[in-house]
Amino acid sequence: MRADARKNRDHLLAVAGTAITEQGVDVSLRDIARRADVGLATLLRHFPTREALLDALLRTSFDELTARAAELETSSSPEDALVSWLRDCVAWTTEYRGVTVLMAAAIEDTESALHASCVTLRAAGARLLTRAQAAGMARSDIDGTDLFALVAALAWLGDQPSLAPRADHLFDVVASAILTSAGSSHAKRERRPRARS
């Protein structure tokens, strides 16, 4: 890559980081290009899609989260490791308003630039979940995909200005649902008469 191209790329990433922190991931790409004193076409050549830009921008964060999962796996109890990692994930998304929707779309879109990162994240969560389940600390009827979905839903809550104030509390509510049902009587109560067809 040519030196000037590299410089533009790096500068664009820096500016994009600022813009996204300020305005969320839906910020206009034109705005980012303007703030970087660069043509829109240049931004779009370096990062052909919004997902590609985010992938470059967030890769470090993704890596940190997966590393943190590995670390917690050896340093904490299965229960604490799972819950505090989930908490970290949700807390992280608050720095990038709107990223949850893109991640939810990317997790099953193999063409998305964010796909690989999302899959890796889900796998990291699945490991912690399996460990907690093996220890009897987490309900056994959920898997990594369920966990990903729950974290996404909680992160989405935090993205909605009107619901965000409850996000922390509802995290605890959902966390209790993941943890507490392990072998409890609820597994039986849970079987309700009949779902509305």
Partner DNA sequence: CGCTTATTCGGATCAGCGATCCACATAAAC
Partner DNA sequence: GTTTATGTGGATCGCTGATCCGAATAAGCG
Picked from a second copy, DNA, none, the partner binding residue 68 (CB below 5 to 8 A depending on kind) is none
176 near a second copy (CB under 8 A)? yes
Closest CA to 51 of 101, 11, 1, 120: 101
73 near a second copy (CB under 8 A)? no
Residues that contact DNA, how many (by CB under 7 A): 23
Least separation in angstroms between residue 119's CB and a second copy is 11
Residues in 47-106 that interact with DNA by CB under 7 A: 48-50
Residue from 22, 134, 166, 183 touching a second copy (CB under 8 A): that is 166
152 near a second copy (CB under 8 A)? yes
Tokens of 56: 């470059």
Binding span for DNA by CB under 7 A among 39-47, 89-97, 150-158, 176-184 = 39-47
Contact in structure between 54 and 113 (CB atoms under 8 Å)? yes
Least separation in angstroms between residue 186's CB and a second copy is 4
Count of C-beta atoms within a 10 Å radius of residue 79: 19
CA–CA separation, 30 and 50 (whole Å): 11
Of 8 and 133, which has the nearer Cβ to a second copy? 133
Least separation in angstroms between residue 70's CB and DNA is 35
Residues in 158-197 that interact with DNA by CB under 7 A: none
Contact in structure between 95 and 158 (CB atoms under 8 Å)? no
Phi, psi of 184 (to 5 degrees): -75, 175
Binding span for a second copy by CB under 8 A among 3-11, 36-44, 59-67, 153-161 = 153-161
User: CB-hemisphere CA count at 13 Å for 93?
Assistant: 27
Of 33 and 114, which has the nearer Cβ to a second copy? 114
For Cα atoms 101, 103, 104, give the angle at the middle one, nearest 5 degrees: 65
CA–CA separation, 163 and 156 (whole Å): 9
Contact in structure between 52 and 25 (CB atoms under 8 Å)? no
Least separation in angstroms between residue 20's CB and DNA is 11
Name the residues that contact DNA, by CB under 7 A: 1-5, 8, 27-31, 37-42, 44-46, 48-50
